[in-house]
Amino acid sequence: MTQTEFKKKLADTENTEWYNSVQINLNYIHLNLNFEFKGFGHAHKFINQQFKGWEKLTKNHQGLPNELLKSIKHFEYIESQLINFIDNYKSQGNEISLNSFFNSTKNQIESSTGTNFTYDSPEVEFLIDVHIKHKKSFASAFCYVTGNLNQNINNIDNFTGYLLAYEFTLKDSTSITERINKEKSSLASLRTKFENSLPELESELVQHLKEGNQKYEEYSQAIDNFREDKEKTYSDWFINTKGGFEDFSTKSDKRLEELENTYQEKLKLEEPAKYWSDRAKKLKKQGWIALGVLIALILIVVFSLGKLLWATPEQIYESFFNGDKSAAIRWSIIYITFISFMAFALKAVTKVMFSSFHLARDCEERHTLTYFYLSLLKDSAVDKEDKKLIMQALFSRAETGLLKDDSSPTMPTNDIVGKFFK
């Protein structure tokens, strides 16, 4: 469990102050180490450091002997005791009760030190070194350090382990250190020989440096030649490709300008084209309405004529054959007047109908001609004079057919569309 998680667990307890003030002692007699902790958090911080230290030692030495790995279990046991106590009594707030409950757990924790080690103790470093260099003597060295002398000294490996542990334990008071002084004298002699060989080594170093400088100048010259060759190659490539790039850039700029002009023309003609399209739909609708009115008027005339012929009043026949023709003439004048009004109405509705269909067709043609003009702008250039002719055709007044002299202005007789296709 990380320290952050452990602190969160402590914060959830009822009497957090007690958990931060309780005393815990860990006494490692064989290491001459005694740790006093104030509070669960302080103790867990120490345990967490031990976990990280042992993990690093295990990784660096690719495994540790089982005698040392027991120390990791020792600290795991202490951590589990602390966590279990918090889980069981976190809702308890009375200090007297907490002290009473913790006595048993505290005794178990403090009595578990045994022959365990902290990762940073000198004894651990010594035992690991023995395990690496004198593996068979590790067990007796471990027993000597922990004070448990149960190994048979008649065995040479065991004796070596005891001796190594003895030297480590009494390194400041044993007479074996005299050997160190003798070895120092030997080291001094070796140092003198080494210092005497330094001038020769310095001469060789100067010679190597001189040769290195010469090779460096050769390599530098070769690099300069290579750079000049590549610069010349790049310059030739740039000159050859510059013309093609400029031509491509010119064509692209010209094409972009043409597209911009086409887009501007589209923006200018977009609203008129939309107006002509909407106007054509409206005029078609108006024409169909006029056609319906015309059909209705014709049906009225036909129905009235049939009704008159089928059910003519008897007084008309009687007055006509009895010599008194005034009634027949009067009814004839009435019907002729009715027919005259109906004929005038039919003629007016007919003009409106044909005018609507004619103007609708004209709007559709102008709409089509607008997009045809834009396609010409996109695919080819249009002369200024031709543009005037097209604009005159697009925006000229259309003949409605409702008036006698209703006609548009005189248009040029040349074939504009044929001219463009040519």
Closest CA to 118 of 152, 162, 158, 75: 75
pLDDT bracket for residue 252 (50, 70, 90): confident
Neighbour tally for 61: CB within 10 Å: 14
Q: Is the pLDDT score of 420 beyond 50?
A: no
Answer with the residue of higher pLDDT: 298 or 192: 298
Q: What is the pLDDT of residue 422?
A: 45
Checking if the pLDDT of 49 tops 60, the result is yes
Question: What percent of the chain clears pLDDT 70, i.e. is strictly above it?
Answer: 68
Q: In this model, does residue 133 exceed pLDDT 70?
A: yes
What is the pLDDT, as a whole number, of residue 207?
Answer: 64
For residues 112 and 307, the model is more confident at: 112
* In the predicted structure, residue 107 carries a pLDDT above the cut 70: yes
Q: Is residue 370's pLDDT more than 80?
A: no
Which neighbouring-strand residues pair with 37? 24
Give the mean pLDDT of 73-82: 91
Mean pLDDT of the chain: 76
CA–CA separation, 124 and 150 (whole Å): 20
The answer on pLDDT for 205 being more than 60 is yes
| DSSP states along 92-136 | ---HHHHHHHHHHHHHHHHTT-TT---TTSHHHHHHHHHHHH-GG
pLDDT (0 to 100) of residue 417:
43
Per-residue pLDDT band for 378 (boundaries 50, 70, 90) equals low
Look at 329 and 76; give whichever has higher pLDDT: 76
* pLDDT value for 80: 92
Burial label, 244 (beta-carbon count in 10 A; 0-12, 13-18, 19+) = exposed
Ramachandran angles phi, psi of 338, nearest 5°? -60, -45
Query: Residue 286: which pLDDT band, with cuts at 50, 70 and 90?
Result: confident
Q: What are phi and psi of 148, to 5 degrees?
A: -110, 85
Minimum mean pLDDT range among 43-52, 67-76, 254-263:
254-263
pLDDT for 3 = 79
How far is it, in rounded angstroms, from Cα 269 to Cα 242?
A: 40
